[in-house]
Structure 1
Amino acid sequence: MQALVIVAHGSHLNPDSSAPTYNHADTIREVGAFDEVRTGFWKEEPSIREVLRTVESDEVYVVPLFISEGYFTEQVIPRELRLDGWDVSDWDSDGLSASHVTLTADDVSEKTVHYCGPVGTHGAMTDVIVRRAETVTGDPDVGDGFGLAVVGHGTERNENSAKAIEYHADRIRELDRFDEVQALYMDEEPEVDDVADFFESDDIVVVPLFIADGFHTQEDIPEDMGLTDDYRNGYDVPASVEGHRIWYAGAVGTEGLMADVVLERAADAGADIGDALELVRERTRKTPLAGD
Structure 2
Amino acid sequence: MQALVIVAHGSHLNPDSAQPTYDHADTIRKTGAFDEVREGFWKEEPHFREVIRTVESDEVFVVPLFISEGYFTEQVIPRELRLEGWDPDLWESDGTDATEVTLEVGDAEKTVHYCGPVGTHDAMTDVIVKRAETVTDDPDVGPGFGLAVVGHGTERNENSAKAIEHHTERIREMDRFDEMRALYMDEEPEVDDVTDYFESEDVVVVPLFVADGFHTQEDIPEDMGLTDDYRTGWDVPGIVDGQRIWYAGAVGTEPLMADVILERAVDAGADVGDALEQVESWTSERPAAGD
**Coarse TM-score class (shorter-chain normalised):** over 0.9
Distance 2:87 2:141 in 1: 43
1:271 aligns with 2:270: yes
Whole-Å separation in 2 of the counterparts to 1:289 and 1:161: 24
Output the CA distance in 2 between the equivalents of 1:83 and 1:281.
32
What one-letter code is carried by the residue in structure 1 that aligns with 2:159? Answer: N
Between the aligned partners of 1:253 and 1:193, the Cα distance in structure 2 is 22
**What is the SS of the residue equivalent to 1:205?**
strand
Q: Percent identity?
A: 80
Q: Following TM superposition, by how much is the alpha carbon of 1:288 offset from its aligned partner in structure 2, in angstroms?
A: 4.1
> Who is 1:282 aligned against?
281
Structure 1 residue 289: Cα displacement:
8.1
Task: Report what 2:221 is aligned to.
Answer: 222
Matched, 1:204 2:226: no
Answering whether residue 193 of structure 2 is matched by residue 194 of structure 1, we say yes
Match of 1:104 in 2: 104
Contact 1:119 1:262 in 2 (8 A): yes
Q: Is the 8 A contact 1:139 1:289 kept in 2?
A: no
Q: How many residues align?
A: 290
Note the C-alpha offset of 1:106. Answer: 3.0
Relative distance call for 1:116 and 1:203 in structure 2 (3 A) is same
Shift of 1:224: 0.3
The aligned residue for residue 183 of structure 2 is 184
- Secondary structure at the residue paired with 2:75? helix
* 2:28 paired residue number: 28
Q: CA deviation at 1:11?
A: 0.2
Asked if the contact 2:227–2:233 (Cα under 8 Å) also holds between the matched residues in 1, the reply is yes
Q: SS state of the match for residue 129, structure 2? A: helix
Gaps of 5+ in 1: none
Q: Distance in 1 between matches of 2:145 and 2:274?
A: 34
Task: Tell me the CA shift for residue 264 of structure 1.
Answer: 0.3
2:63 counterpart residue number: 63
- Aligned equivalent of 2:162: 163
Aligned-partner Cα distance in 2 for 1:65–1:89: 20
**CA deviation map 1:237-261 (0-9, x unaligned):** 0000001000000000000000000
Question: Displacement of 1:105 after TM fit?
Answer: 1.0
Cα displacement (A) at 1:113 = 0.4
Counterpart of 1:94 in structure 2 is 94
Shift of 1:32: 1.1
What do residues 203-226 of structure 1 show as CA deviations (whole Å, max 9, x unaligned)? 000000000000000000000000
Cα RMSD between the aligned structures?
Answer: 1.2
Q: Please give the TM-score of this superposition, normalised by the length of structure 1.
A: 0.98
Once the two structures are TM-superposed, the CA of residue 175 in structure 1 deviates from its matched residue by: 0.4
Give TM-score, length-normalised by structure 2: 0.98
Q: Which amino acid aligns with 1:185?
A: Y
SS in 2 for 1:207: strand
